[in-house]
Amino acid sequence: MHEDPGRYDFFRHEDCDLCGDCLVRCQYMDLTRAEAVEEMKRLIAGEPTRVVHDKCISCYACDAFCPHDCRPYELILKSWHQRYREKGLPVRASYLMPASSPNFRTDIVKRLSAREKELLRVWKETPPEGEVVLYPGCSALTLPHLLDAGFMRGVKISGDFDLCCGEMYFRQGLFDVVERVAEKLTGYYRGQDIGTMLFVCPAGLNMFRNVLPDQFGAEFDFEKKYLGTWLLEKVESGEIEIKRKLQRSVAVHDSCHARILGGEVMDTARSLYSHMGLEMREMARNREDGYCCGFAAGCNRYSPVDMVMASVKELWESQKTGAREMAVYCTACLTTMTMYRWLFPTLQPLRHLLEYLKEATGETPYHPAQRRSLRMLTNIAVKAFPQIPSKKTYRIDIA
């Protein structure tokens, strides 16, 4: 399949001085400076690499490492885009894709409580208009209890699985699919009277603020803001009252998109943890240099084994801190590591920032992720694993 070679060329060739920083700092490739420079030369020339295409787990960190904002990550993704154009996706990936029906998330929704199902119904029917509107995203829709809290009063929540931000497609290099997502979301939100849109997950924020407009032509005329930033402002102003200091130790996990967004997310989350009285213990590899939760690790070879191995790396890093719990602020990170925690038993439970905040503001904590993730793991084992030997492929259609 032929395509204009300049299309989807998001790498900034003119700004790259081949310093190699982007790959030298990678936590997964173990490259020397000279090897990193050689790998970059191969990527830029569109040639097969010796290491990158084998070991990349699509963690996105190389974009954060690049001192010139050249987008080396998108250079890697472009080769995966070409692979998709030529071969399609293996059918084993289908059950994990947002456009598939059913998929690993929609199957979980069938098991939600009556209260949570009602929340999803209301959010689906609520028009996206108002001074403050929250976009829940696919991951939060599988854990709606996170947003069922008193501190969310005054926020209109509007969204459904049909309004996927395209993050999973982007991380696999499915650029033409992301472009259709950008067109769909632009059309859906055009003319809506929205002042500020809040995002639970850094992934949604980065997609709406940066990736979709800058790289795929989406147009949104509202402010995009991290939910944690909005909550921190309310806590510091006294509008949200911390009634109980939690006083326990947590290992802090950072998400891939947070590394791109920087302190806006990583520092904000830590400030909220501090206000709630949590003792934060940083992992040996943290912030931009931290490990991925494992969610994106399947984007290269579509291998569940790669996902498990990447997730276990971070679970082990967290356990080495001696903290009582692992604190996360990304819903995808929560479900992924909680799921693979069943394969790597650890005494540390994982808790979401919003679960901590509910507890700190006097509400009864509710932690369904562990039970829900076991169902998710079972569903994947039953519906995706049997497809691993299949040579069949397919292509994604965005309605």
Residue-wise pLDDT for 7-59, tens only, equals 899 999 999 999 999 999 999 999 999 999 999 999 999 888 999 988 999 99
Q: Which residue has the higher pLDDT, 115 or 94?
A: 115
Q: How confident is the model at residue 110, as a pLDDT?
A: 86
User: Within its chain, how far is the Cα of 27 from the centroid?
Assistant: 18
Q: How confident is the model at residue 5, as a pLDDT?
A: 58
Residue 358 burial (CB < 10 Å; 0-12/13-18/19+)?
buried
- The per-residue pLDDT for range 235-294, each reduced to its tens digit, is 999 999 999 999 999 999 999 999 999 999 999 999 999 999 999 999 999 999 999 999
Q: How confident is the model at residue 182, as a pLDDT?
A: 97
Q: How confident is the model at residue 325, as a pLDDT?
A: 96
Reported confidence tier of residue 320, pLDDT bands at 50, 70, 90: very high
Domain boundaries along the sequence of the chain: 13-88, 95-387
Q: How confident is the model at residue 387, as a pLDDT?
A: 81
pLDDT at 345 over 80: no
Percentage of residues of the chain with pLDDT beyond 70:
98
Reported confidence tier of residue 382, pLDDT bands at 50, 70, 90: confident
What does the pLDDT average to over 86-113?
85
pLDDT at 298 over 90: no
pLDDT at 186 over 60: yes
> According to the 3-state scheme, what is the secondary structure of the chain?
CCCCCCCCCCCCHHHCCCCCHHHHCCCCCCCCHHHHHHHHHHHHHCCCCCCHHHHCCCCCHHHHHCCCCCCHHHHHHHHHHHHHHHHCEEHHHHHHCCCCCCCHHHHHHCCCCHHHHHHHHHHHHCCCCEEEEEECHHHHHCCHHHHCCHHHCCCEECCCHHHCCCHHHHHCCCHHHHHHHHHHHHHHHCCCCEEEEEECCHHHHHHHHHHHHHHHCCCCCCEEEEHHHHHHHHHHHCCCCCCCCCCCEEEECCCHHHHHHCHHHHHHHHHHHHHCCCEEECCCCCHHHCCCCCHHHHHCCCCHHHHHHHHHHHHHHHHHCCCCEEEECCHHHHHHHHHHHCCCCCCCCEEEHHHHHHHHCCCCCCCCHHHHHHHHHHHHHHHCHHHCCCCCEECCCCC
The chain-wide mean pLDDT, for the chain, equals: 92
114 token code pair:
């009556």
pLDDT at 201 over 80: yes
Angle, vertex CA 161, rays to CA 156 and CA 165, nearest 5: 85
Q: Do 248 and 281 meet the contact criterion of CB atoms below 8 Å apart?
A: no
Lowest mean pLDDT among 38-47, 134-143, 225-234, 368-377: 368-377
Residue 277: left (phi > 0), alpha (psi -120 to 50), or beta?
Answer: left
Reported confidence tier of residue 346, pLDDT bands at 50, 70, 90: confident
Computed on alpha carbons and rounded to an integer, the radius of gyration of the chain in Å comes to 20
Alpha-carbon distance of 356 to 85, in angstroms, equals: 43
pLDDT at 117 over 80: yes
Alpha-carbon distance of 79 to 250, in angstroms, equals: 38
**At what angle are helices 331-341 and 369-383 packed, to 10 degrees?**
70
Length of the chain: 399
What does the pLDDT average to over 101-116?
86
pLDDT at 1 over 60: no
Q: Do 228 and 329 meet the contact criterion of CB atoms below 8 Å apart?
A: yes
Reported confidence tier of residue 139, pLDDT bands at 50, 70, 90: confident
Q: Do 179 and 113 meet the contact criterion of CB atoms below 8 Å apart?
A: no
Reported confidence tier of residue 366, pLDDT bands at 50, 70, 90: confident
What does the pLDDT average to over 296-303?
86
Residue 277 burial (CB < 10 Å; 0-12/13-18/19+)?
middle
Q: How confident is the model at residue 107, as a pLDDT?
A: 85
Q: What is the pTM of this model?
A: 0.93
Q: How confident is the model at residue 3, as a pLDDT?
A: 58
Alpha-carbon distance of 319 to 339, in angstroms, equals: 16
Q: How confident is the model at residue 4, as a pLDDT?
A: 59
Q: Which residue has the higher pLDDT, 61 or 5?
A: 61
Alpha-carbon distance of 133 to 320, in angstroms, equals: 39
Highest mean pLDDT among 2-16, 136-150, 213-227: 213-227
